[in-house]
Amino acid sequence: MDGDALFPTFFMTGFECSTFIWKDRQRKDYVVATGHDRHLRRDYEAVMDLGVGVVREAIRWPEVDKGGGRFDWSSVKAVQDAATECKITPIWDLCHYGLPDDCDPFSDDCRKRFTDYCRGAAEFVTGTAEPPFFFTPINEITFFSAAASDLEWMAPFAKGREDELKRALAHMAIEGAKAIREVYPGARMVHVDPIVHAVPPPDRPDLADEARDEEHRKAFEAWDMLAGRVAPELGGSPEILDIVGLNAYHYSQVQLDADKKREILGPRDPRRKPLSELLQYAWDRYKRPLIIGETSGYQDNRAEWLRMTVEESLKAINAGVDLHGICLYPFVDVPDWWSQKWAQIGIYDVVDKQQFERVPVDPYIAELRRWQKTLDQPENVEPDGYGHQWGRVQLSEVRKYAAKWREAESLPA
């Protein structure tokens, strides 16, 4: 990797890996629901062929934890072997909304069990692969604490305990990060959560303070705990927060109504805030390295969304934001949580739920290829070069192009 780049490529991707107990009280496993377990090698070969060298990937706590301190790492070994063969660096997601059946997140026992699990995962990963090593102890603490409490979408269905759950999950993540670094002190943590923009209804300016609180306090509270800015007794610090992953989707910008309902701001709503400004705010708040931890357009606007995301990222880089990557998430399409229909948000669509055939989304891929060529040397984006160190998009090239773009004050056609 070049200079101060944290990751081997600027563009990243990931595979949906939720393992929650849904509101129907049935456990869901989205690694299985997307066929990623069946198509693991082909999925990783497709990632490599796109010149992407970083993947957000799962260690599924409910699956590997057999209780009593016993773990089955066989599913993790399969992923690590594929990643090693395809020269891909995983960011290991250790808890993607899913806890073991008998694990109460409010209890000291659950926190200790999670800590032991994180230590075991770190021992396995660092013992079977080469550095660098990246981990996300608990995915989307802020969103998880809302979805698993008052929204009652997923376990533990702790209605009325959102703030308490957020604190408990942050404490688990802090202790988990410390356990990982007991095993490998140089391990990096990537803590992801949605970054949001909220506005009041046009006829209710009296709700502006509430919308501002949603955007500037609640959305950042988990990161603040991890950084030790809030609830320092939990043990957070800037080193624990480490790398901040900001998840940005079209539905991340909303009108917050008086009844707490959220209405998504349309793409041309003048109240929307540029992504570059949201990135700038996070950078100014923490002064920690950033990535866009998840982003994707929807159906036919995926290429357009990628174009906007990169342009806004370049604006942020030019403003001094230490942005290290954009994670196009998910790589393979996922069933919508509510309807179970394919959501059409991936780089590859899926056409059935038997064979899980992958179909490339050509306009999305073409836009990715265009940016890869723009941000790197042209000879390094030939298909035969993908997957090799010399064919990967480097952070220095991104910054170099961003500076040229600023001088020209316009993007190339």
Token digits of residue 314: 């370049």
Query: How many Å apart are CA 405 and CA 407, to the nearest integer?
Result: 5
Token digits of residue 94: 């250790």
Residue 379 pLDDT grade (very low, low, confident, very high; cuts 50, 70, 90): very low
CA distances from 281 to 215, 252, 290, 330, 365 (A): 11, 15, 11, 25, 30
Residues 6+ apart with CB under 8 A from 156: 99, 104, 105, 106, 148, 165
Region 222-227: mean pLDDT is 98
Phi/psi at 109 (nearest 5 deg)?
A: -60, -40
pLDDT value at residue 358: 97
Residue 296 within a domain: yes
Q: In terms of Cα–Cα distance, which of 295, 283, 278, 369 is closest to 323?
A: 283
Buried b (16+ CB within 10 A) or exposed e, 223-261: bbbbbbbbbeebbbeeebbbbbbbbbbbebbbbbeeeee
Burial level of 216, CB count in 10 A (0-12/13-18/19+)? middle
Residue 405 pLDDT grade (very low, low, confident, very high; cuts 50, 70, 90): confident
- What does the pLDDT look like over 292-335, one tens digit per residue? 999 999 999 999 999 999 999 999 999 999 999 999 999 999 99
249 touches 301 (CB < 8 A)? no
Residue 73 within a domain: yes
- What does the pLDDT look like over 69-112, one tens digit per residue? 999 999 999 999 999 999 999 999 999 999 999 999 999 999 99
Asked whether the predicted pLDDT for residue 113 surpasses 60, the reply is yes
Residues 6+ apart with CB under 8 A from 69: 116
Query: How many Å apart are CA 412 and CA 378, to the nearest integer?
Result: 15
CATH of the domain at 29: 3.20.20.80
pLDDT value at residue 380: 36
Region 267-272: mean pLDDT is 93
Supply angle C-alpha 49, 55, 59, rounded to 5.
135
Mean pLDDT of the chain: 92
64 touches 118 (CB < 8 A)? no
Residue 196 within a domain: no
pLDDT value at residue 2: 55
User: Looking at the 3D structure of the chain, how many domains does it have?
Assistant: 1
Q: In terms of Cα–Cα distance, which of 126, 130, 148 is closest to 139?
A: 148
pLDDT value at residue 394: 74
Residue 323 within a domain: yes
Asked whether the predicted pLDDT for residue 382 surpasses 70, the reply is no
Region 17-29: mean pLDDT is 96
pLDDT value at residue 260: 87
> Containing domain of residue 131, as a range?
11-191+238-248+285-408
- What does the pLDDT look like over 332-361, one tens digit per residue? 999 999 999 999 999 999 998 899 999 999
Token digits of residue 402: 């961003």
Q: Which of the two residues, 260 and 109, has the higher pLDDT score?
A: 109
pLDDT value at residue 393: 60
326 touches 12 (CB < 8 A)? yes
Asked whether the predicted pLDDT for residue 276 surpasses 90, the reply is yes
State pTM to two decimals.
Answer: 0.94
Residue 71 within a domain: yes
Residue 317 within a domain: yes
- What does the pLDDT look like over 154-192, one tens digit per residue? 999 999 999 999 999 999 999 999 999 999 999 999 999
Residue 361 within a domain: yes
Region 365-380: mean pLDDT is 76
411 touches 311 (CB < 8 A)? yes
Residue 6 within a domain: no
- What does the pLDDT look like over 194-223, one tens digit per residue? 999 999 999 999 999 999 999 999 999 999
